[in-house]
Structure 1
Amino acid sequence: MEQVQIRDESITLGQVLKLHGVADNGAMAKEMIAAGDVTVNGETDTRRGRRLGPGDVVAVDAAGVEFEVTTSR
């Protein structure tokens, strides 16, 4: 499984989609999340501002992408 490293203790769902590269910008991330294409730990989440931390698993069905959030510490 791919991993996305973050520097802080948490990151928002919209930010992590951009950091991973599955979303080119915030508007694209917002559309994917609102459409219900994004799951966090196996459950659909439509909150762009949801806080994610190490161990959370994000999947984007439309892009066929799944990754785990980790810290770089």
Structure 2
Amino acid sequence: MKNTFKLKTEYITLGQFLKEITVISSGGMAKWYLRENVIFVDGEIENRRGRKLYPGMMIEIPEEGTFFMEKNEELITEEISDESN
């Protein structure tokens, strides 16, 4: 299944991402999960929970789906209006 994930910040770490999509229930489980499961970031195996994920990247988690990182356009609009005030 293909999904999009809208980033709320400039980037998200792989461990935080796994928690956000409810693959794991706590950040402490990320290290264990990555040791026991294969995850691909842009087609390459990744096992670092601190790996930064940016807009345009593709994360594949077998049995969970494929996720495409996107910018949250609403946040960009808010930042621009904050700067103009």
Q: Which category of TM-score, normalised to the shorter sequence, fits these structures? A: 0.7 to 0.9
1:69 matched residue in structure 2: 69
Deviation at 1:7, TM superposition (A): 1.3
1:56 and 2:57 equivalent?
Answer: yes
Name the CA distance, whole Å, in 2 between partners of 1:36 and 1:44: 10
Aligned residues of 1:55 and 1:70 also touching (Cα < 8 A): yes
Look up the match of 2:8. 7
Would you tell me which structure has more strand in proportion to its own residues?
A: 1
Q: TM-score, structure 1 length as denominator?
A: 0.82
Flag as ranges the 4+ runs of structure 1 deviating above 3 A: none
> Normalized against structure 2, the TM-score is what?
0.73
Structure 1 residue 28 displacement after superposition:
3.0
Structure 2: 5+ residue runs without aligned partners? 74-85
Count of matched residue pairs: 72
Counterpart AA for 1:7: K
- Give the match's secondary structure for 1:66: strand
Coordinate RMSD, CA, aligned: 1.5
Rounded Cα–Cα distance in structure 1 between residues aligned with 2:8 and 2:19: 15
Q: Name the % identity.
A: 33
Cα displacement (A) at 1:36:
4.5
Whichever of the two has the greater Rg, that structure is 2
The answer for the alignment partner of 1:35 in structure 2 is: 36
